[in-house]
């Protein structure tokens, strides 16, 4: 399958590169998401069999001060990509986020749950979802959460870095979600793209997150245990760690429709964490 991937060095794009040797990857130098028309033109010029958008504005806090720019990257660019894919009749897989929800309650959010983002980043991603759907083509919006890998910036690498100089860390314990390995997201995107080519009726919005659900503090403890670090974790509420952007307290995602439609089950993040720690050379 001739796949065009937007993104080159991000966590998911890096994993896609490892699994899609023949794919074309467009980094910012080749297709800047700040220029939606250029992104659409890149699709038209290459005429791929499927497109995966693994690029995004991910600076959640900075988006609060730069919402217009974030909305171009996360909203207008995916919409332009989706319209180009619709014109060519090729499937478009777009990665989105749990931040489109308000994080209320304790039940996992289903794909059709009402959206109510808490901040600029969530609003920008919701704009992208709306644009992809409005394009009317064969698409899959794949919402995920708490992405980690051996690449780029993520919670695992932050905790490991901090544990090098501290024997105790305070970590938020009242935000719950599913840590999700980037490798599994990449594999899911490829599977979905292939199945959409064979059966466009599967188009829609889906969820994909690691299992079991955990708090950030639980996740940190697992990281330190796996890396053989003696750093202690003290649970704190999110209110003790204020940030410019509000984070959802509940990031649980109901992934049952993804399993039903594509046969993709939630990955065991603890098993994948062991692999990532090994790749980073810190596994105990």
**Residues recognised as catalytic:** 121
Tokens in use for 33? 């998401």
Q: How far apart are CA 28 and CA 166, in angstroms?
A: 36
Task: Provide CB contacts within 8 A for 269, sequence distance 6+.
Answer: 148, 178, 179, 180, 181, 210, 211, 212, 214
Beta pairing, strands 180-181 & 147-148: parallel
Helix (H, G, I), strand (E, B) or coil at 167: coil
d(CA 69, CA 66): 6
Q: State how far the Cα of 119 lies from the Cα of 70, in Å rounded to an integer.
A: 12
How do 92-97 and 50-53 pair as beta strands?
parallel
């Amino acid at each position: 399958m001739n796949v065009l991937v937007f993104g080159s060095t991000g966590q998911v794009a890096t994993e896609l590169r490892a699994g899609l040797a023949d794919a074309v990857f467009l980094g910012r130098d080749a297709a800047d998401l700040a220029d939606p028309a250029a992104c659409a033109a890149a699709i038209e010029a290459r005429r791929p069999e499927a497109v995966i958008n693994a690029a995004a504005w991910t600076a959640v806090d900075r988006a609060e001060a730069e919402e217009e720019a974030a909305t171009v990257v996360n909203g207008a660019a995916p919409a332009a990509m989706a319209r180009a894919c619709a014109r060519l009749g090729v499937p478009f897989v777009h990665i989105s986020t749990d931040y489109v929800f308000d994080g209320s309650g304790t039940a996992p959010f289903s794909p059709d749950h009402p959206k109510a983002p808490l901040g600029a980043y969530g609003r920008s991603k919701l704009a992208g979802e709306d644009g992809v759907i409005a394009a009317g083509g064969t698409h899959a919006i794949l919402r995920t959460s708490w992405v980690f890998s051996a690449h780029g910036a993520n919670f695992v690498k932050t905790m490991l870095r901090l544990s090098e100089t501290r024997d105790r860390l305070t970590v938020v314990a009242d935000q719950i979600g599913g840590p999700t390995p980037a490798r599994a997201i990449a594999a899911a995107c490829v599977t979905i793209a292939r199945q959409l080519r064979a059966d466009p009726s599967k188009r829609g919005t889906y969820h994909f997150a690691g299992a079991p659900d955990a708090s950030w503090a639980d996740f940190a403890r697992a990281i330190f245990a796996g890396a053989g670090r003696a750093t202690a974790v003290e649970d704190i509420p999110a209110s003790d760690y204020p940030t410019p952007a509000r984070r959802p307290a509940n990031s649980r995602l109901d992934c049952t429709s993804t399993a039903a439609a594509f046969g993709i089950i939630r990955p065991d993040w603890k098993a994948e964490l062991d692999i990532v720690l090994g790749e980073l050379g810190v596994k105990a």
